[in-house]
């Protein structure tokens, strides 16, 4: 059973206030869990300090696995397990293997990226997603701060930092 997680949730009305607020909050030493926005805010990733995604590396590795699997399977089946002369070609001829190899490469790459994204994003099929504030899907920007990650700061101190950064309201949210 998971331990209870306590968050402070700052609600922002404007994206420009949110961007300057993220900068000032990070400079004050408070660690931000996540920021939710109803639309993409340009520059938010850089301000939050996000690093470039490694998903293309995972896609390449899954695609390489698909290519290797397709070639191994076709060479073994048509060259050694059940050798057949098709169209007068050799047992192991690469041009007829290209369509199957391409399809298995694309299939494993796509499925691997979906699985990697779901694991990294903590999107499990049996788990209901956390909603810090439903207005983050409408017109408000929401900043969640995990109190467990900010050991040196009290709840009231973080609340005052959020208010000074431009949050229109600060709420507490608990999840099990």
Higher local confidence (pLDDT), 121 or 104: 104
Residue 1 reports pLDDT greater than 50: no
List the domain range (segments joined by +) for residue 96. 54-121
| Position 89 in a domain | yes
pLDDT at 129 over 90: no
- Mean pLDDT confidence for 112-140: 86
Q: Is 153 contained in some domain?
A: no
- For the whole model, what pTM was predicted? 0.69
What domain count does the chain have?
Answer: 1
Tell whether the model's pLDDT for residue 2 goes beyond 60: no
Give the per-residue pLDDT at 3.
63
The verdict on residue 85 lying in a domain is yes
Q: How far apart are CA 82 and CA 99, in angstroms?
A: 20
Let me know: does 165 contact 24? Beta carbons within 8 Å: yes
User: Residue 23: is its pLDDT beyond 60?
Assistant: yes
Answer left, alpha or beta for residue 17, where phi above 0 means left and psi between -120 and 50 means alpha: alpha
Burial of 30 (0-12, 13-18, 19+ CB in 10 A): buried
């Amino acid at each position: 059973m998971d331990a209870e997680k306590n968050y402070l949730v700052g609600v922002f009305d404007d994206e420009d206030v949110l961007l300057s607020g993220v900068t000032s909050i990070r400079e004050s030493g408070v660690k931000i869990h996540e920021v939710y926005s109803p639309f993409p805010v340009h520059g938010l990733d850089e301000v939050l300090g996000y690093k470039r995604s490694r998903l293309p590396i995972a896609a390449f590795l899954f695609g390489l696995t698909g290519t290797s699997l397709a070639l191994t399977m076709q060479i073994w089946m048509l060259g050694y397990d059940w050798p057949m002369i098709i169209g007068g070609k050799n047992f192991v001829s690469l041009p007829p293997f290209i369509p199957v190899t391409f399809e298995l490469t694309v299939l494993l790459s796509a499925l691997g990226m979906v699985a990697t994204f779901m694991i990294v994003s903590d999107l499990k099929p049996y788990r209901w997603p956390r909603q810090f504030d439903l207005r983050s899907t409408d017109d408000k920007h929401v900043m969640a701060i995990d109190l467990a990650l900010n050991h040196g700061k009290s709840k009231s101190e973080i609340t005052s930092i959020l208010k000074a950064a431009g949050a229109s309201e600060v709420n507490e949210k608990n999840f099990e």
